[in-house]
Structure 1
Amino acid sequence: MTTHTGRRTQAQRDALTIEIGYALFSAAFAAAVVFGAIAGPALFFDLPGRVETLLLRTGMALAAVLFVARVISVLVRFRRPAQPSQPGRTNPDS
């Protein structure tokens, strides 16, 4: 977020807080969608015991993996500084 080791400003701390919230919310939403897509049939239909168990466990495992991957990807992307589209040139709108 910063290139120096000094203290962060209030704006930087606020931006980090918002980014963490976004990462957690979007990861939870994506995990819920994946879990619902995989385990949904087991919850709504009368399936054999082994198939139902397999769908539920697979849904939980993939949802957990997706949650962690999404949080990490959002926070790593936030940490990298934005690079200008044309290094060394000014923005034409400036």
Structure 2
Amino acid sequence: MTRDRVRRDAVTVQTGYALGTAALLAAALFCLVGAPVPVFGLHGTARDVVLVAASAVAAVGFVVRVARALWRFAPPVAQPSQPGRTSPDS
């Protein structure tokens, strides 16, 4: 494989990882913040406020997770052709 192909594949995998973990985090945050609705049987305005808050927290969590995962990612650096060598032969 070429170096460009390896980098593209690495970016694709990292992006998928970031989106997948962000989706799981968002779902967990929504369930956590929205839990009072079924637990306490909230209705009307209280229910709407809690669900809006849960949606907002989930959205922020999703964006923050994606940003952090992609910000930390550095594409793989090309390795020397021979171990221990740092520059090509003259």
**TM-score, scaled relative to structure 2:** 0.73
Deviations 1:33-86 (A, max 9, x none): 00001112314542131221111000000100110111011001003889xxxx
1:63 pairs with 2:58:
yes
Unaligned runs of 5+ in 1: 1-7, 83-94
**TM-score, scaled relative to structure 1:** 0.70
**Residue in structure 1 matched with residue 7 of structure 2 by the alignment:** 12
Q: How many residues align?
A: 76
> Is 2:30–2:58's contact at 8 Å kept on the other side of the alignment?
yes
Unaligned runs of 5+ in 2: 78-90
3-state SS of 1:79 partner: coil
Of 20, 26, 30 in structure 2, the residue corresponding to residue 25 of structure 1 is: 20
How much is the aligned-residue C-alpha RMSD, in angstroms? Answer: 2.3
Q: Aligned letter for 1:69?
A: V
Runs of 4+ deviating beyond 6 Å: none
What percent of counterpart residues are identical? 41
Radius of gyration: which is bigger?
2
**Residue in structure 1 matched with residue 36 of structure 2 by the alignment:** 41
